Structure 1
């Protein structure tokens, strides 16, 4: 930040707090990308790494549980669905609840609480055991539900904190980079599984029950990144936008901006100093309804919620039930060790082929192309790919395995270089500060509702018309996913392009005289 910018802000009349606010916001929006921005992305991203690890590790762990507790390669369908859906159900609750709480109590006060929930629930899941009062399945499902609440809280908080600290020019890339850590989290779950299986190989071959050690280690390792990031989460400063627009403390926000942009550090507040309060639009249920009653605002929430909902139906429908994909790429079932090894290695291959690269293509292009072009592109290509795979499923999988792998890889790639990333980015940009976290939480919870529907529906319908494990109905499910992708494409018209615009411009509220001196 240039010295003359600081001097210009300092000579602003103490009564002109509206101008002082706009000057402070301009400093954030136009700041040079520095260490504080990198640190913010890392602190937020580590949490998403842990979130994805914990959510998707269950894809591998559920097979381990089946061998330990049922002496077979798959859990009973009702148990399998319950174990896999419990975390998404908790995530939905956490997204909605923490979205509101972060607007009411502040980003800083809530940030870290959700990570503590994740750490505790992860360790409790790894140590789950049956008792006289509660079955093992009941204990595991309970702690997976609690885990989901913590994971859900991470969505609005990480997105909003990153967005409110980001520069206008790099905001999309920063938020996308945080979300992209999901790819590494999913990949790491499979890598940890491979390493642990290799360590226990001889023991597993001698006694299948040894797998009980393996699944506990795989789940428990998910707490490690959370522990690493916890201190930094608890000490991250409140965002200046929240301080200005909700705490109504312009002077403190201006000082916080100077601290983080000049030194990359944050100084604790001096509560002995007098606070000059200002007046600004206040959050309330009545005001929230009035804001959304305007079509220009209401359609945006509808767009962010429905596009996320439609995307997650397909994303989680495939992501947590990809055993039929693994079989087709040569990583099917065998002995217990071979089955688990193949699932773990197969997941590494799948994620390296499409998932991880897709996330980082979004990081590279989101501030150049814009959010809507990438989302339109993603939904369009996904619609086509699901139509091709859905109607040609049996012919492709039986006669052209390379084509099958290519199509599946492209689906993974364009989900992440497409709507899976942009549906996370846009809700953190398009709402005013007092409802930004709430709007993101509602949008994210809508997506998780789609994930739950996909999990229950996929699990209940995939073998319809055939024997268990036949995946007879999968072609029709893929066709249904194509319809959802096309619906997501249509609802993308409801969201604005956010590239190059400040958060205040995107709020659809006049910023001149936005605040007044009391």
Structure 2
């Protein structure tokens, strides 16, 4: 009886107007997305598929990044204009710098453009386009003809037209609040598998070509153009195989729906968002493809609105803190990641006078870094990101990296003896200690700011600027990567052990400043994206200009969230 009285009271009360009903439904839909549970064993499997498909981009990116590190030695043998102490060709400083900064330069512009464009046309349309460009760039690199070293640089720019902002926004906007950090980390952790795949592929193809390379370069043989064919095959295979996972994932990436947050907050179409949620999270109901294009008004992404939003002190400091933190870690990440082969040669780790053994040892060194530092770092971060929180992990990572780089710089002379490739091939125990510190630095990059900078930048901005702001943060990081390569080349650590020690000292300065920039970023653990956006959600949807009523098509029918009438 009481229930009937309550129902009668509700029905006899004042009816909400159309816009109020839209706001109520928007909040209900956001709550459904935020509270929807996910697990890798979930029978819906939607969130798992988002992680896998979004992760392919990071897999391919990391594969290419670390393949370039390995391929640079091979390219040096084939196209090098300089020679090492054994009179073997190598890339000169200008060639090596062009190779190492081609990808960050392309990434810088790609992240700005694709981030901005994803906030205009949507996440879904841009997601397939950038993967197609990545596949084309990789294939073009591998099939470069004459003057391949110059064409490689240009194709690296194409390859780098980039997916960071879109992968981050898609994974964050689809993720439930309780596991958003883990979902985004699992996407980003695909970098580790890409690094591992590049190392394994490099080792496999190097072993396959061992006989040919050994015959081409017996001890004491000089290099000549006629003996370089098999090494030329090596780097082409290594790079070209990187487009295979992208080709496989292209179909699935095109099938990912638009995120409901973009549909509601940018396209301002709550009805379509409800249909997409039903189709994605509740496939047994199926989306209503006949849903009308029913729109309300709301905050719009304009230059004036962007200036007003980020002109507020709190919002600007968030953007600055996230962007600078990303730059600080990318200086270290790209210095170590793109130059590990140079560092290994400088410390005589696995050094050899034999051409094939040199290539094999570089591949083996990168495999050690991947298994001992990079991959464990990603997945330890995955385990703790929802308990420790993003900000605490980032602060810890920057602090530990600062200490590690100072120790590596101060102890370099003591740990790395003067040796040449002709010396005893056994690696001294002191060198192993240094390699351990090197692996530890890689571990705390990923169980630290390399992962959390990606996650935080995808959480703390409003939907209409989420991809744009993430792109700004990521592009600022790539400025750090470019700066790191220029400084590393100016120091030329391959020519002096003292200069390599100085390089680690410079890295410690950047990671120390990252501690302070992290203090400007809020903790995002357990908070919804709407709360983190620093915007009031009350009355977010507004009536467009002119009079409206329910019959105008502005308001959608108040259907229950389970799709029933």
Whether contact under 8 Å (1:86, 1:142) holds in the other structure is yes
Per-residue deviation at 1:139? 1.3
Whole-angstrom CA distance in 2 between matches of 1:264 and 1:76: 60
- 1:75 — aligned with what? 91
When normalised by structure 1's length, the TM-score is 0.92
* Counterpart among 530, 538, 542 of residue 504 in structure 1: 530
Whether contact under 8 Å (1:386, 1:479) holds in the other structure is yes
Whether contact under 8 Å (1:67, 1:336) holds in the other structure is no
Whole-angstrom CA distance in 2 between matches of 1:172 and 1:243: 22
1:154-187 Cα deviation digits (max 9, x unpaired):
1001010000000000000011111101011011
- Give the alignment of 1:271-420 within 5 angstroms: 273-327=291-345, 328=347, 330-398=349-417, 400-420=430-450
* Counterpart among 59, 63, 81 of residue 49 in structure 1: 59
Note if 1:252 corresponds to 2:282: no
Q: Secondary structure at the match of 1:499?
A: coil
Q: Note closer, same or farther for the CA distance 1:265–1:98 as it changes in structure 2 (3 Å cut).
A: farther
Whether contact under 8 Å (2:257, 2:280) holds in the other structure is no
Whole-angstrom CA distance in 1 between matches of 2:285 and 2:76: 49
- 1:3 — aligned with what? none
Deviates further, 167-176 or 385-394: 385-394
- 1:29 — aligned with what? 34
Whole-angstrom CA distance in 1 between matches of 2:487 and 2:350: 25
Note if 1:473 corresponds to 2:495: no
Whole-angstrom CA distance in 1 between matches of 2:370 and 2:289: 44
- Give the alignment of 1:87-126 within 5 angstroms: 87-126=103-142
1:244-297 Cα deviation digits (max 9, x unpaired):
001110011112112211228974843xx4322111101101000100111111
Per-residue deviation at 1:486? 0.7
* Counterpart among 249, 256, 265 of residue 236 in structure 1: 256
Per-residue deviation at 1:234? 1.3
Per-residue deviation at 1:477? 1.5
* Counterpart among 124, 131, 148 of residue 136 in structure 1: 148
Per-residue deviation at 1:206? 1.5
Per-residue deviation at 1:324? 4.9
Whether contact under 8 Å (1:379, 1:489) holds in the other structure is yes
Whether contact under 8 Å (1:280, 1:515) holds in the other structure is yes
Per-residue deviation at 1:299? 0.3
Whole-angstrom CA distance in 2 between matches of 1:266 and 1:194: 47
1:109-144 Cα deviation digits (max 9, x unpaired):
1111111011001010001111xxxx3322111111
Whole-angstrom CA distance in 2 between matches of 1:501 and 1:137: 48
Note if 1:421 corresponds to 2:451: yes
1:284-313 Cα deviation digits (max 9, x unpaired):
010001001111111000001000001111
Q: Secondary structure at the match of 2:158?
A: helix
When normalised by structure 2's length, the TM-score is 0.85
Whole-angstrom CA distance in 2 between matches of 1:264 and 1:148: 38
- 1:4 — aligned with what? none
Whether contact under 8 Å (1:36, 1:265) holds in the other structure is no
Q: Note closer, same or farther for the CA distance 1:265–1:331 as it changes in structure 2 (3 Å cut).
A: farther
- Give the alignment of 1:432-471 within 5 angstroms: 432-463=462-493, 469-471=495-497
Whole-angstrom CA distance in 1 between matches of 2:124 and 2:132: 14
Whole-angstrom CA distance in 2 between matches of 1:400 and 1:513: 64
Q: Which entry has the higher C-alpha Rg, 1 or 2?
A: 2
Q: Note closer, same or farther for the CA distance 1:217–1:105 as it changes in structure 2 (3 Å cut).
A: same
Stretches of structure 2 lacking an aligned partner (at least 5 in a row): 1-14, 217-226, 418-428, 545-565
Per-residue deviation at 1:406? 2.3
Whether contact under 8 Å (2:69, 2:341) holds in the other structure is no
- 1:6 — aligned with what? none
Whether contact under 8 Å (2:278, 2:287) holds in the other structure is no
Q: Secondary structure at the match of 1:322?
A: helix
- 1:430 — aligned with what? 460
Per-residue deviation at 1:325? 4.1
Whole-angstrom CA distance in 2 between matches of 1:201 and 1:450: 38
Q: Secondary structure at the match of 2:416?
A: helix
* Counterpart among 187, 194, 206 of residue 197 in structure 1: 206
Q: Secondary structure at the match of 1:279?
A: coil
- 2:24 — aligned with what? 19
Whether contact under 8 Å (1:304, 1:423) holds in the other structure is yes
Whether contact under 8 Å (1:431, 1:507) holds in the other structure is yes
Whether contact under 8 Å (1:176, 1:425) holds in the other structure is yes
Whole-angstrom CA distance in 2 between matches of 1:479 and 1:283: 42
Stretches of structure 1 lacking an aligned partner (at least 5 in a row): 1-10
Q: Give the total of aligned pairs.
A: 495
Q: Secondary structure at the match of 1:90?
A: helix
